[in-house]
Amino acid sequence: MKPVFLIIFSVLILGLHAQPATTLSEENYEKIHTYEDTIALMGYAIVNDSLQTNRYAACKKLILTLKQALKMENSFQYPFDRVKTVSIQYPQDSSFRIFTWQLYADENTYRYFGAIQMNTPELTLFPLIDRSGEIENANIESFELTPDKWYGALYYRIIETESEAGKYYLLFGFDGYKFFHKRKLIDVLTFQEGKPVFGAPVFKFENDQSGAKTQNRFMVQYSPESSVTVNYDEIRELILYDHLMTVTGQYGEGPTKIPDGTYHGFQLKDGYWVHIDKVFHEVLEEAPVTKPVLDIKEGEKKKDIFGRDKNR
């Protein structure tokens, strides 16, 4: 069922036709606005319906409807603010945006779907096909991947970085992975001959004895009972993440990892993100937060889970 479903997703998205880009017309705005209602409803069903068949059907319908919406001329300019279960992330230069969403198949299987839409005069869209199940037992942090062999994740932030080799983007994502183990990762996105490539050797680990080594992406795996930070701190200009210690898990999960209250980090130097073994010398009770994802005032949530304003 999964391979057929992924092929359908790829064919539907690749069926889009190029469109010239100027300004989103009022007529197209109204059409996309109508499509957005269906996308939001299907997104809610993907997350909340108790039946797997219904979740898969809702995901297929979402793909079909998103295709129709993005076919509209200048659709890049439409923000889809009412869609709360699909993450839509933009880099600082707004050269593209990434749609990602999560499909819960069963307690040990999560599938991810997504697409990169370029901000170009003609509509260019790259479907992202989740193949994480095929590569999870290999050295994930060393691979260079393509959109049709993507390590699927729900992206929650993009950081734009300049280097001598050119511009690249850090993609911060969450992977539900398995019932007893969750993952957070930072992938690296570059564009080679106009096409997206995932993974680049920008994470540097320096060791006095063995020298320096690099990784194409960074990942942590942890217990689902833990809250783990992997994010960029704008004030300190560092990537911060929890140091994890191994403990004996409960309920038969086996060894697992939880935060111990200390933090590692990465600092940008000469285009590389260089590892910092210990960011703080005191133990913090909570992770440093530069900007709250959820603003809560008088019991009302002002932003959704991706940090977008709910009232827009």
Token pair 């129709």: residue: 68
3-state DSSP call for residue 8? Answer: helix
In this prediction, residue 312 carries a pLDDT of 46
What is the Cα–Cα distance from 153 to 101, expressed in whole angstroms? 8
Could you tell me how many helices (H) and strands (E) the chain has, helices first?
4, 17
**Contact call for residues 39 and 47 (beta carbons, < 8 A):** no
What is the Cα–Cα distance from 150 to 74, expressed in whole angstroms? 26
Residues whose CB is less than 8 angstroms from the CB of residue 298 and which lie 6 or more positions away in sequence, other chains included: none
In this prediction, residue 307 carries a pLDDT of 47
Rounded to a whole number of angstroms, the distance between the first and last alpha carbons of the chain is: 38
**Per-residue tokens: 209:** 């004895």
What is the Cα–Cα distance from 179 to 184, expressed in whole angstroms? 14
What is the Cα–Cα distance from 65 to 110, expressed in whole angstroms? 22
- Residue 266 has a CB neighbour count (10 Å cut-off) of 23
Using left for φ > 0, alpha for ψ between -120 and 50, and beta otherwise, residue 144 falls in beta
203 closest CA partner among 132, 150, 100, 274: 274
237 closest CA partner among 204, 201, 276: 276
Residues whose CB is less than 8 angstroms from the CB of residue 108 and which lie 6 or more positions away in sequence, other chains included: 178, 179
What is the Cα–Cα distance from 221 to 228, expressed in whole angstroms? 9
In this prediction, residue 9 carries a pLDDT of 54
Token pair 């783990």: residue: 228
- Residue 273 has a CB neighbour count (10 Å cut-off) of 23
Q: Which helix (H) or strand (E) holds 241?
A: strand 238-248
In this prediction, residue 176 carries a pLDDT of 95
310 closest CA partner among 16, 82, 27: 82
In this prediction, residue 165 carries a pLDDT of 79
Digits of tens for pLDDT over the chain (312 positions)? 555 455 455 545 554 444 444 688 999 999 999 999 999 999 999 999 999 999 999 999 999 999 999 999 999 999 999 999 999 999 999 999 999 999 999 888 999 999 999 997 678 899 999 999 888 767 899 999 999 999 999 999 999 999 887 899 999 999 999 999 999 999 999 999 999 999 999 999 987 666 789 999 999 999 999 999 999 999 999 999 999 999 987 777 789 999 999 999 999 999 999 999 988 755 555 655 544 444 444 445 454 544 445 554
